[in-house]
Every structure is written in structure tokens, then in C-alpha cells.
Amino acid sequence: MCFNATASFVGAGIVLTAGVGTLALVRDKKQIPFACLPLIFGAHQFMEGVTWLKLDNQARHGQVQCLTGYDVHLWVLIAWALFPLIVPWSVWFMEPNPKRRKLLLFPSWVGTILFAYMMYQVVQPAIQVSVNGGNLDYVLPGFSPGTLAYPYVFATCIAPAMSSYRYVIVVGVGNFIAMAIAAWMNVNDYASIWCTFAAFLSIIIFLHFLNQRRAAQRTPDPSPPRDPVGAT
């Protein structure tokens, strides 16, 4: 988490456990990318725990709390490049409604363009993370997260909200609310704060697949169960 090492590791353990349970519930290959999201979020939180340990060690030795290196670049890559790519495409991949699939192509391609741009940003050598007001502040020189907030929200929040699955819609709406709260709490560190909120919201993905499994047990139809909006 963005708050301290202990919280990061505890959060990572909870989300990773939910991720393993989610994958165990998958019944269709098209669902695998979306089902992997809790594992990715959990691993991301674990990385922040390691970052906190390194920063705390610097503080104990009287050093300035500031880190650079491959692990910092990897965190930024996952947060700013991978999430806007994998979230909309994973929703598109398992969407059963043809019309919604067409609509989902818009946020999916926006996420792809954002991914390409952020991959360029990630290779810049001066990326660093420091402690700012008790939270982790990831800094990319010459880059302002606010400038990409709209396409990022479109890819990571609006795309799930366009799904025909109830729980997936909840993930999208929840992510939007979490991002707004994170920005209100601290506009400089909101990426780290949002990733923490989003990690726990990804547990809803487990509930989605649990609901799918229970629906399958109630019907003899061997095809993947669906719970489109408006169904009883």
C-alpha cells in the first residue's frame, strides 16, 4: 500500500489469495485475462512493500528517502502502462454482447495508445520515488499525471462500466470513485493511492467469478454462464 510496508504486504497477501481463488473459478479461456487482474494488483502491492522497506532503511541510516532503479521503473510500468492496456482488453475479451464488444474497442484502443506512450516514459532514466506526506510519490521528469487522467480513467474505469456483467460494472464504478478519492486526498501521489484502492476493489472480480460458478451449478447448460444487466 501507499501507507507503509506492513499494510502493503498484508494487502498484497489478501489480494493475491483472492487472485488464486479467482483463477480456480475460471471456466472459459476468454475469462483468464480478467481473472488475472487480482494477481497483478497483489504483486503490485507487494512491490510497494519492498519499496517501503528500502525507503525505511534509508531513513534509519539518516539518508534522504529517495529511490531509483529497475524496480521503481517496473512499478510505474505496471501502474501507468499495463493497467490501462489489460483492463479494457480483458473486459472486451470476455464480453458476450456483440454491441458492447464493439463499444469496448474505443477504451481498449485508448488504453493501447496510452500503453505505448507510457512505455516511452518508463525507459527514461530519472524516474524516482520518495515519501511525500506519508505516501509514496513516484516522479517522472517532464511528466504530469494530470495530463493523462482522462484517457487513463476512460481505459481503466469506463471500460469495465460498459460491460454487461454486474460485478464488472461495479469494478469500473468503484475504480472511478477510488480514483476521485485518491486525487482529492493527494493529487501528487494519487497513482499510488488509487492502486491501493483498486487492488482491494479487484476482490470484486473474485465475486464475479463466484457468481458465475454458482449460476453454472444452477443450470445444465455447459456454456459459460452470463449475468447480463437486466437479467433476473
Q: What is the 3-state secondary structure (H, E, C) of 36-105?
A: CHHHHHHHHHHHHHHHHHHHHHHHHCCCCCEECCHHHHHHHHHHHHHHHHHHHHHHHHHCCCHHHHHHHH
DSSP secondary-structure letter at 163? S
pLDDT in tens, 125-179: 778 888 877 778 888 876 666 778 889 999 999 999 999 999 999 999 988 988 8
pLDDT of residue 225: 60
pLDDT of residue 147: 75
Residues of the chain with pLDDT under 70: 1-3, 142-145, 186-195, 219-232
Q: Where does residue 161 fall: left (phi above 0), alpha (psi -120 to 50 degrees), or beta otherwise?
A: alpha
CA dihedral 205, 208, 214, 220 (to 10 degrees): -120
Collapsing DSSP to helix, strand or coil, 142 comes out as coil
Instruction: Please check whether residue 127 is in contact with residue 76, taking contact to mean a CB–CB distance below 8 angstroms.
Output: yes
Instruction: Please check whether residue 50 is in contact with residue 70, taking contact to mean a CB–CB distance below 8 angstroms.
Output: no
pLDDT of residue 124: 78
pLDDT of residue 232: 40
What whole-number distance in Å separates Cα of residue 190 and Cα of residue 152?
13
Domains annotated for the chain, with CATH where assigned, are: 5-217 (1.20.1070)
What whole-number distance in Å separates Cα of residue 138 and Cα of residue 75?
9
pLDDT of residue 215: 84
Instruction: Tabulate helix, strand, coil % of the chain (nearest 5).
Output: 70, 5, 20
